[in-house]
Amino acid sequence: MNPRDSHPVSLPIDLTIQILARLPTKSLLRFRSVCKLWREVLSQKQFVDLHFALSSRTRGVAIESPDHAASTPDLVCVDPILGVSAFSLDFLDDRVKIRASCNGLLCCSSVRSRGVYYVCNPMTREFRVLPRTRERPFTRSEPEYEATLVGLGFDPATWRIHVAIAGFHRSFGRWPRGGDRRLVCKVFDAATGAWTRFAASMCDEFTCMNRNQSVYAGCSMNWLTHCCRYVSVLDLENMLWGKITLPDEVLATQQGTRFYLLELEGSVSVVQMSRFWMSTWVLKDRAKEEWALVDRVNLRCIDGYAASVFPISQTKDVVFMATQKKILMHDRNSRVWKEVYGVEGNFTYPLWFSAFAFGSTLFPCRQAIFHMHSVRRARRSFFLLAHKSAGRRESHLRSSYKKRGPTFGRSESSIECCLPKKLGQM
């Protein structure tokens, strides 16, 4: 063999990026220390968006530890491909409770300090402390309203964060009754870094399960009401509450069924469960309130759990469901059920109260908003960095040519395209 043939040939940068974008988040975090080029590439918005577009198909479940005595909760992530892995929120240095999840970010409330909320990415261990929701101290004559609803919204296109908390106001410690119920809502917008407060008259009720299942879609947050006749919608742009009526087929078959609100491919989805069937509806047109039935699953295979199982997370391929002590996964293509996680011992707290839809991402949570000029600046720096790397590589090959003669590796003086202009070009 000619020794010149053994000269290592490095892959083109565009092919390297496509390979890296298909790796798990934990691996990418380790690969940041490989070299300066990889560290810069893995931090660019284009790459983070590409990685999210590919990894969003494999979203799973994050389960909070049942050990409430722990100062910081340990989390278990159940992924349909990678299996079960553990991580912690110890970097917050506070005892917190997970309240909402959206696109790989978590919204947590402090247990020790009321009114303190965090937005964090447990994979990158980045976090942001939000301004206190109330500056004045709590008093008996003017208590804080009950934080019934907590929602987190993160737009992957703009990297914009919204946090909404809402509850029924209590005057002088009394619970509101009848038609005088006033829902007080506060919305945090990362673009301004402040809370916006407004109130609305609302007579709706929300169950403990419905409070945990908030869905962010189309710059709005959605919750399913206790009556299960419509979805309550918070428009984040106009700061208004609205309603979306459930499908007529669902309303006609409400007796003996349960309903849950989940996200599916970026849209609002309602899961209707009876003793033997699970039907999944997706909101196709918000303005016209048009729903479409996308899946119907027979529950006879899990007849022992059908009466108490709760859907937690779903994609177009799988759906995760929680029982008292187990997490089940249903493959929608093969129609096969599998137990993917279980809790041992004398565990009485149901898993569905501590499980959230979760998919690991590289999204940051420190930036307030990623403006379009920042996107263009990031793109320019990305290509300049790639060209600089290509120039160093060409210079190295030229010096090797003078010393050892020509090599058989391909040399590129420039890189035409490192990332697809559209995420669909893959």
Give the pLDDT confidence of 284-319 residue by residue, as tens digits: 998 899 999 999 999 988 888 888 889 999 999 999
* 314, two tokens: 């779903």
Above 70 in pLDDT, residue 112? yes
**Spatial distance between the Cα atoms of 15 and 273, rounded to a whole number of angstroms:** 45
Looking at the domain assignment, is residue 152 inside a domain?
A: yes
Q: How many helices (H) and strands (E) does the chain have?
A: 7, 24
The answer to whether residue 183 sits within a structural domain is yes
In a domain, 418, yes or no: no
Residue 4 reports pLDDT greater than 70: no
Q: How many domains is the chain built from? A: 1
Residue with more model confidence, 420 or 204: 204
Mean pLDDT of 191-203: 86
Is 246 domain-assigned? Answer: yes
**Structural domain includes residue 227:** yes
Cβ-defined contacts of 110-117 (< 8 Å, 24+) = 114/138, 114/144, 115/144, 117/163, 117/165, 117/188
Residue 122 CB contacts under 8 Å (≥ 6 apart), including other chains: 62, 75, 87, 88, 89, 106
Q: What is the model's pTM?
A: 0.79
Q: Is the pLDDT of residue 373 over 50?
A: no
Residue 11 lies in a domain: no
Phi, psi of 181, rounded to the nearest 5 degrees: -75, 125
pLDDT at 295: 92
Residue 197 inside a domain? The answer is: yes
Per the DSSP assignment, residues forming a β-bridge with 88 are: 74
**pLDDT tens-place string over residues 229-287:** 889 999 999 999 999 999 888 888 878 888 999 999 889 999 998 888 999 999 999 88
What mean pLDDT is predicted for residues 138-143? 45
Q: How confident is the model at residue 398 (pLDDT cuts 50, 70, 90)?
A: very low
Task: State the pLDDT at residue 223.
Answer: 93
Average pLDDT score, the chain? 78
Give the pLDDT score at 371.
38
Integer Cα distance of 179 and 176 in angstroms? 9
What CATH number corresponds to the domain at position 124?
2.120.10
Q: Contact 203/179 with Cβ under 8 angstroms?
A: yes
- Alpha carbons 290 and 244: distance in angstroms, whole number: 9
The mean pLDDT of 372-401, rounded to a whole number, is: 45
- Strand pairing report for 160-168 and 182-189: antiparallel
Comparing 72 with 308, the larger pLDDT belongs to: 308
Q: Does the pLDDT value for residue 184 go beyond 50?
A: yes
Domain that holds residue 237: 57-358
Q: Is 179 part of any domain?
A: yes
Report the distance separating Cα 102 and Cα 221, nearest Å: 11
